[in-house]
Chains A and B, each alone.
Chain A
């Protein structure tokens, strides 16, 4: 295959054509339109409005904080399950993996409803706690930033497990074994061998979960009361006011923020 492609370089370009068309039609062109909307008018008033103190900037800040927190927590929670799935062989492993990745197929709105059923004003968890303790602890948690955070975790943890597992599978365990034969203790092996080797995978998993959270919309649509995130503001601007300029500017800033963080994390390069 490789020799064939080298012999006919145009074949590679031809095969890449669908992707290039896809990229132009569904990424570059809409991004260009957004940028045009955002920069429309003298001095780009929409972009200024989004970056000035107020509703938009607060929502962008919330998006950044919430997505970063969800990404960090998701990666931390996923380390052990991903490790086990990659290293251990046991009955029901495939079933467990399927079960863990199931939430990835749920839409955000569905996850939002799940949170309300579990942690709403009369959710299952507060009802249970009321039975046990006499007070409905955690009632209405679903509508708070903490509830939104939990909902984000619900679909970011599976994403992180799936990504990390495939990285752990390719992990050069012989290096760890070599360190052990050379007399390194567990802590030294963890900090000087395993973590440095796993760092690129961890960074790319952080980047993936972070990006997905930044764009998440359905969950916040259902759960957010006042704690707004940027995609929600885009929705409000479009549906409530038909304000293309501000919506475009919000999207643009959101995209730039996401790409900047991904870049900082190494953008999935391993």
Chain B
């Protein structure tokens, strides 16, 4: 009996040793919320592997899920860094999930777009827009305003991510509420609008539907403008980006270093590198505005809607948003998604 067990045991041990060694040979940085199709993280991490030999594996957690995972793993952190839409990153920092770190070139980041202590900082910005697949509209005109979206002609054609999943969509829901006259204490105006919009919404996805929009399964996606420009100019889709007439919202996309990050020596140079021109230019390829303005290539800059359109996109107060996050998400679930 013992002899028979010896060989498999040895084999298993050898296998385990191989895996461990193989794991140690690869330098990695674990980034929560590293969706390849969002802000060109796929291209950014591929470039980093080439220049630094460090692997940053893809991770498809949305902002909220990333924060929840960090909180769950507080005692035994698994991630080194995380990427979020502004308010959720602000909230994560407030919960003590980050450690202070100021990447090189800290000074290029404008004051309102970073934490003075280095708990979070902006890597690029975006604006909420309608991403419209014009071929999939079935003859309906391209919607130009929030009011347009309520028209019956768009029934079943609109989707926005579940705001309890993704930070982009949380920014959207918070911003719409403010636009409709609500505040961080009063969600009624926004929820009333979203309830009307619900009649036209086909789904509240909890995964990236980038490809569904490109394919035409979802004709109108309320999401970051950059995702729409990328569909149009990188994937050559029949896509138009619309900044709604009544107004829209800008969204800083932020990062922070996780408290107790398991690979600090690999993480710090990576976070430094993300603010350098090559990395910033890579974000710009996905039409997310680099925080380093000089990294925005002229041809990319020319493809954005004119500045006059972006004048309607206002900045939201991250502190107030973070404070309202849980209550607004809950209210959205009860009022909009519900369970009927």
Binds A, one of B103-111, B112-120, B202-210: B202-210
* Min C-beta distance of A107 to chain B, whole Å: 13
CB pair B339 A239 closer than 8 Å: no
Contacts of B206 in A (CB 8 A): 221
CB pair A233 B204 closer than 8 Å: no
| Interface residues as binary, A208-236 with B (CB distance below 8 Å gives 1, 0 otherwise) | 00000000000001100111100001001
Given contacts A55-B334, A143-B203, contact A241 B218 (CB under 8 A): no
Given contacts A226-B338, A228-B339, contact A116 B64 (CB under 8 A): no
CB pair A58 B65 closer than 8 Å: no
CB pair A239 B64 closer than 8 Å: yes
List B319-337 residues whose CB lies under 8 Å from chain A.
326, 329-330, 333-334, 337
- Given A122, A221, A236, which contacts B136 in the complex, CB threshold below 8 Å? A122
B340 nearest in chain A by CB position? A226
CB pair B202 A140 closer than 8 Å: yes
CB pair A122 B337 closer than 8 Å: no
CB pair A241 B339 closer than 8 Å: no
Alpha-carbon gap, A140 to B201, bound state (A): 11
Given contacts A221-B206, A228-B337, contact A116 B217 (CB under 8 A): yes
A97 interface hit (Cβ, 8 Å): no
CB pair A143 B340 closer than 8 Å: no
Given contacts A143-B203, A225-B203, A239-B164, contact A58 B330 (CB under 8 A): no
Alpha-carbon gap, A238 to B157, bound state (A): 29
List B170-216 residues whose CB lies under 8 Å from chain A.
201-207, 212, 215-216
Contacts of B165 in A (CB 8 A): 239-240
CB pair A236 B333 closer than 8 Å: yes
Given contacts A236-B164, A240-B164, contact A227 B339 (CB under 8 A): yes
Given contacts A58-B339, A140-B202, A226-B338, contact A242 B68 (CB under 8 A): yes
Alpha-carbon gap, A129 to B338, bound state (A): 32
Contacts of B205 in A (CB 8 A): 222
A60 nearest in chain B by CB position? B339
List A113-155 residues whose CB lies under 8 Å from chain B.
116, 120-122, 139-140, 143
How many pairs, one residue from A and one from B, have CB atoms within 8 Å of each other in the complex?
A: 69
CB pair B340 A121 closer than 8 Å: no
A59 interface hit (Cβ, 8 Å): yes
Question: Chain A: interface residue count, which band?
Answer: 20 to 34
Contacts of A221 in B (CB 8 A): 206-207
CB pair A58 B340 closer than 8 Å: yes
Alpha-carbon gap, A17 to B330, bound state (A): 45
Alpha-carbon gap, A34 to B17, bound state (A): 35
- Given B68, B136, B204, which contacts A225 in the complex, CB threshold below 8 Å? B204
A62 interface hit (Cβ, 8 Å): yes
Contacts of B156 in A (CB 8 A): 121, 139-140
| Interface residues as binary, B52-94 with A (CB distance below 8 Å gives 1, 0 otherwise) | 0000000000001100110110000000000000000000000
* Min C-beta distance of A199 to chain B, whole Å: 35
* Min C-beta distance of A121 to chain B, whole Å: 6
Alpha-carbon gap, A59 to B333, bound state (A): 13
Alpha-carbon gap, A225 to B340, bound state (A): 10
- A54, A62, A122: most-surrounded residue (chain B CB, <10 A): A122
Alpha-carbon gap, A143 to B209, bound state (A): 14
Alpha-carbon gap, A39 to B329, bound state (A): 25
Contacts of B340 in A (CB 8 A): 58, 226-227
Contacts of B68 in A (CB 8 A): 238-242
- A55, A227, A240: most-surrounded residue (chain B CB, <10 A): A240
- Given B207, B326, B334, which contacts A222 in the complex, CB threshold below 8 Å? B207
- A56, A143, A233, A236: most-surrounded residue (chain B CB, <10 A): A236
B329 nearest in chain A by CB position? A240
* Min C-beta distance of B30 to chain A, whole Å: 18
Alpha-carbon gap, A240 to B157, bound state (A): 26
Q: What are 19 A-B residue pairs whose CB atoms fall within 8 Å in the complex?
A: A54-B334, A55-B333, A58-B339, A116-B212, A121-B202, A122-B136, A122-B215, A221-B207, A225-B201, A226-B339, A227-B340, A228-B337, A233-B339, A238-B72, A239-B65, A240-B64, A240-B68, A240-B329, A242-B72
B residues near A (Cβ < 8 Å) are 64-65, 68-69, 71-72, 136, 156-157, 164-165, 201-207, 212, 215-218, 326, 329-330, 333-334, 337-340
Q: When A and B form their complex, which 5 residue pairs have the shortest distance between CB atoms, in order from nearest? A: A240-B164, A228-B339, A58-B339, A239-B65, A55-B339
With A222-B205, A239-B64 already in contact, 19 other A-B pairs whose C-beta atoms are closer than 8 Å: A54-B334, A116-B212, A116-B217, A121-B156, A122-B215, A122-B217, A221-B207, A222-B207, A226-B337, A228-B338, A238-B72, A239-B65, A239-B68, A239-B164, A239-B165, A240-B165, A241-B68, A241-B326, A242-B68
